[in-house]
Structure 1
Amino acid sequence: MAKTVLTVDDSASIRQMVSFTLKGAGYEVLEAVDGQDGLDKCKQRAVDLVLTDQNMPRMDGITLIKSLRGLPSHQTTPILILTTESSDAMKTQGRAAGATGWLVKPFDPQKLIEVVRKVIG
């Protein structure tokens, strides 16, 4: 059975690229348009990995991570941040919130697949 990845990004083009890349590598992909949508989807369904942007309307990535870590079902779910943000301060906030890792946009599709495989197989 394919592992499920939830990609959370307010950019439709980024969601499409991530989805296309991961589906091509054999993963099932769910999409959410912002952090609140991502949180709602995680409450409805188990996922193996969350891949989230940082800067989004309604709920940003750090807030999403903190919210997910507060749910018993997602305390250990791997969460990767995929964002244009690359400052050490922002990365520190991400780690403190419970992020598993950090990837910077624009992303290399092969590197994304490598990281996802390393994290969830």
Structure 2
Amino acid sequence: MANVLVVDDSNTMREIVATFLKQNGFEVAVATDGRDGLDQLRRDPGIRLVVSDINMPNMDGLTMAEKIRTELGNKEVRIVMLTTEDNAVMRSRGREIGVTGWIVKPFNGNAVLGPFKKLCGMT
């Protein structure tokens, strides 16, 4: 059972983020897009944190976040966007649908390690 779900259509980014988190004590699942991410969440109720890109095929990260809150009715899981997108309109939409945090790439694992552990109840 994972406590973090990493959702990104880039194999490289998924590997970078997942490997860093695993090396720091997290149980990690991965998904290739928003649709795959929703499927993972349905199968694994232990996921406490979703780290997701926005721009992905099939289903983007913000749509996935919205469906996590509405279709799955999951208000507990924390959702952090890890993206190249840094505009106020997208951030505002994210806040409105329940996104917990926003990180602009590149990924700096050491900067987020403490907050991620806190979001997963590991501290």
TM bucket (normalised to shorter chain) is over 0.9
In the alignment, what sits opposite 2:4?
5
Residue deviations 1:53-82 (CA, integer Å, cap 9, x gap): 10000000110001000213x222111111
In the alignment, what sits opposite 2:112?
112
Alpha-carbon shift at residue 118 of structure 1 (Å)? 2.9
Are 1:28 and 2:24 an aligned pair? no
Alpha-carbon shift at residue 3 of structure 1 (Å)? 6.0
Residue deviations 1:6-50 (CA, integer Å, cap 9, x gap): 000000000000011100110000000000000011111111111
User: For the aligned residues, what is the CA RMSD?
Assistant: 1.3
Question: Runs of 4+ in structure 1 displaced over 6 angstroms?
Answer: none
In the alignment, the residues of structure 1 paired with residue 11 and residue 67 of structure 2 have an alpha-carbon distance, to the nearest angstrom, of 23
Letter in 2 for 1:12: N
Are 1:45 and 2:72 an aligned pair? no
Higher mean C-alpha deviation, range 43-52 or range 2-11: 2-11
Q: TM-score, normalised by structure 1?
A: 0.92
In the alignment, what sits opposite 2:84?
84
Is the 8 Å Cα contact of residues 21 and 113 (structure 1) preserved in structure 2? Answer: no
In the alignment, the residues of structure 2 paired with residue 53 and residue 3 of structure 1 have an alpha-carbon distance, to the nearest angstrom, of 19
Higher mean C-alpha deviation, range 105-114 or range 48-57: 105-114
Q: 1:3 to 1:59 in 2, by over 3 A?
A: closer
Letter in 2 for 1:58: N
- Structure 1: 5+ residue runs without aligned partners? none
Q: Count residues with an aligned counterpart.
A: 119
- Structure 2: 5+ residue runs without aligned partners? none
Is the 8 Å Cα contact of residues 17 and 107 (structure 2) preserved in structure 1? Answer: no
In the alignment, the residues of structure 2 paired with residue 36 and residue 62 of structure 1 have an alpha-carbon distance, to the nearest angstrom, of 11
Higher share in helix: 1
Taking every aligned residue pair, what percent have the same amino acid on both sides?
41
In the alignment, the residues of structure 1 paired with residue 117 and residue 104 of structure 2 have an alpha-carbon distance, to the nearest angstrom, of 17
